[in-house]
């Protein structure tokens, strides 16, 4: 087990538990959580924010170095306007009200996705949280907001094409590393594990390039119910997986 001081007693108490270096989470099922309780969908999203705080805390305690959460996809624009506004308000509140705590916990926050179409005040808030936490050295929290994997790859291709047409890059010099550098996630390792809650078994346009070799774990619980027990259950399942990266033998991480 690692001697990283970020790994707490809790994690050390579970020998053999593998901790992913990068964990991705598709937080799904807020609406169903609310419906099953006869509540409006907005309450499901508010409970979803609580679960988000919980997983940030768990990631810190268990020594996950990078956590990326999918909080609003480019496809979510087809939802009713009121619900979209509410999710945007939640992002504002999360960024504004949790900034102090995140900062104190040495969390570095990044928001990935397209900024086009976001209100100027929201863009400023995003810039602000990224700047204020930029020098933090603890958990890297990446919030995928207004994000879509295909859009991200398309944007990367466009950037590379611009460099080629400007004569800065030759097509034959384009490698996977060139593409990686042009993605929003440049600098982050690929996710080792991606969790999706609510029983759906799809990746839904989340980290398409980066997740090529990620282990996928689908859990039945809706996102607001995802707690430490669920987290440990997922880590136990992940710990049993043998990652071969297209090869034939198990490789250590």
Q: Which of 247, 197, 232 is nearest to 16 (CA)?
A: 232
- b/e sequence 140-175, b meaning 16+ C-beta within 10 Å: bbbbbbbbbbebbeebbeeebeeeeeeeeeeeeebe
Closest contact distance (angstroms) between CB of 73 and ligand FPP is 7
Question: Which residue ranges make up the site for ligand FPP (CB under 6 A)?
Answer: 27-32, 45, 48-49, 52, 71-72, 76, 87, 90-91, 94, 143, 198, 223
Closest contact distance (angstroms) between CB of 69 and ligand FPP is 7
Q: Is 173 a catalytic residue?
A: no
Residue 230 burial (CB < 10 Å; 0-12/13-18/19+)?
buried
Q: Is 146 a catalytic residue?
A: no
Query: Which residue number places its CB atom closest to ligand FPP?
Result: 31
Q: Which is nearer to ligand FPP, 28 or 215 (CB)?
A: 28
Q: Which is nearer to ligand FPP, 78 or 175 (CB)?
A: 78
Exactly one of 4, 30, 76, 128 is catalytic; name it: 76
Q: Which is nearer to ligand FPP, 19 or 95 (CB)?
A: 95
Catalytic residue list: 28, 76
């Amino acid at each position: 087990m690692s001697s990283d001081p970020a790994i707490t007693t809790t994690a050390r108490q579970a020998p053999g538990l593998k901790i992913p270096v990068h964990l991705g989470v598709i937080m799904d099922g807020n609406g169903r959580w609310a419906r099953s309780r006869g509540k409006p969908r907005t309450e499901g999203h508010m409970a979803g924010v609580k679960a988000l705080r919980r997983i940030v805390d768990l990631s810190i305690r268990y020594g996950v170095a990078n956590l990326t959460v999918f909080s609003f996809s480019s496809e979510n624009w087809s939802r009713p306007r009121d619900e979209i506004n509410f999710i945007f308000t939640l992002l504002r509140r999360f960024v504004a009200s949790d900034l102090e705590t995140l900062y104190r916990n040495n969390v570095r926050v990044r928001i990935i996705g397209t900024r086009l179409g976001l209100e100027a005040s929201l863009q400023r808030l995003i810039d602000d949280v990224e700047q204020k936490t930029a020098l933090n050295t603890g958990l890297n929290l990446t919030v995928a907001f207004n994000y879509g994997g295909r859009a991200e790859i398309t944007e990367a291709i466009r950037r590379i094409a611009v460099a080629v047409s400007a004569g800065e890059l030759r097509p034959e010099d384009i490698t996977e590393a060139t593409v990686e550098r042009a993605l929003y996630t440049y600098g982050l390792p690929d996710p080792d594990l991606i969790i999706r809650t609510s029983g759906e078994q799809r990746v839904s346009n989340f980290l398409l390039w980066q997740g090529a070799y990620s282990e996928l774990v689908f859990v039945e619980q809706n996102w607001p119910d995802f707690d430490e027990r669920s987290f440990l259950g997922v880590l136990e399942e992940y710990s049993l997986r043998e990652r071969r990266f297209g090869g034939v033998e198990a490789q250590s991480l």
